Amino acid sequence: MNNHAYVFPGQGSQFSGMGRILYDNNADAKKLFEQADAILDFKLSEIMFTGTDEELKQTRVTQPAVFVHSVIAFKILVNELPDMVAGHSLGEFSALVANNVLSFEDALKLVSTRAKAMQHACEINPSIMAAVLGLNDEKVEDVCADVENETGEVVVPANYNCPGQLVISGSIKGIDIACIKMKEAGAKRALALPVGGAFHSPLMMPAKEELAGAIESITFNTASCPVYQNAVAKPVTNPSEIKKNLVAQLTAAVRWTQSVQAMINDGATRFTEVGPGKVLQGLINKISKETVANGIS
C-alpha cells in the first residue's frame, strides 16, 4: 500500500508573516482569515502577518494562529482526500478538520477554548518543559520517575518527538533537577524550552476539565479517514473515541514517534506536513529513513 498521510504542526511552528502569502493571493483564503478574526473577536490575522515573536508566543494567540494557517493551507492547496491524518498536539485539531470530523468554525472555537484554558492553567501552576537529547526513551522515563519519587515534584515525559529527542514537562523545580540528572545519565543536552508551562502533564488538569465541557457541546462527525491520535498512537474513526482521546491529550504524552511508526506500519509511504514551519518533516525523517516527507504552507 502506498498511503499518503497528511500531518499538522503544533505550537512552536509559528513565525511572523505566517499565512500572508495565502491571504494575499487567494480570495477564498482571505475569506477564511476574516471568518477566523470574527469567530475569535480579535484580529488574529494582523498578529500573524505583522506581530512580534513575543505577541505570537502567547498561547491564546499561538494555537489559533497555527491552526488557522494549517487548515487554510489544507483547504486551498490540497486537492485530495487523505488516506490518514495526524497532528502534533494542537495539530490534532487541524487533522480533524482535514478528515471531516470537525468544521473549521467548531474546531477554531475549541482551539480558542483550549488555548485560553491552557494559558490559565500555566498561570495557576508556574511550570515548564525541557528538551532531552541523546538518551533513549526508557532512560528518560526512568529519570523522570526517580525525580518524582525523590522530590514529590511533577516531572513526566510529554512529547516523544523522535528517537533521541524527548520533551519532559513539570514543575520548575522538578524540571531543573531532572535536567541535571539527565545530563548525568548521558544526555547530550537537557535544556528548558521557551513555552508558557507544563503542557501534556498533570498540571494541565484544570484546562482538561474546561476543554472536556466544550468538546461535549460540539458535534463530531464520523471520520472520512483514520486519525492517529497522540494519546493512543493508533488509528481512530469513531467520534466518541476521538473526543475522549482529544480530552486525554492535554495531560497525556504526545506519542508522535509511535504514531508515525503506526502510520508506516499501516502503509504510509509519503507524509505531507501542512502548515507553518518544517518541524514535523524533520522528525519524520529521523523516525524513518524509508519514507518521503515534504511540506505545504
With b for 16 or more beta-carbon neighbours within 10 A and e for fewer, the 102-140 pattern comes to: bebebbbbbbbbbbbbbbebbeebebbbbbbebbebebb
The answer to whether 4 is a known catalytic residue is: no
3-state secondary structure of 35: helix
Residue at grid coordinates 486537492: 79
Distance separating the N- and C-terminal Cα atoms of the chain: 26
Set 13, 45, 70, 89: catalytic member:
89
CA-nearest of 29, 26, 25, 60 to 42 is 60
The answer to whether 112 is a known catalytic residue is: no
Q: Rounded to the nearest 10 degrees, how much is the dihedral formed by the CA atoms of 247, 213, 206, 140?
A: 0
Residue 228, classified by CB atoms within 10 Å of its CB into exposed (0-12), middle (13-18) or buried (19+), is buried
Set 200, 259, 288, 297: catalytic member:
200
Catalytic residue positions, numbered: 89, 200
